Amino acid sequence: MNSWQLIFLQSRVNNGGYYGDLLPPQNWDWPEETWFQKRLLYLRRGKDKAAEELTDQDLQ
């Protein structure tokens, strides 16, 4: 029996033992103020400034 067959045999659908509902809930939030988020904000602000400069040049 391969591992996938074993997984399906032990699933809740097939009346296998399932104890996931008894595990304590783990609440978490996405990390904040990470380097990636700061970098993304920096790049987005740069795009906004570049877009403003282009529109300003187009109007003149």
26 pLDDT more than 70: yes
Helix spans in 3-60 (H):
3-9, 35-59
More confident residue, 10 or 42: 42
Paired tokens of 27: 């609440």
28 pLDDT more than 80: yes
Cα dist from 51 to 5, 17, 38, whole Å: 55, 58, 20
Average pLDDT over all residues of the chain: 80
4-13 tens-digit pLDDT: 888 888 777 7
Residue 57, pLDDT score: 58
The residue ranges of every structural domain in the chain are: 33-60
Q: Give the predicted TM-score (pTM) of the model.
A: 0.40
44-56 tens-digit pLDDT: 888 777 666 656 5
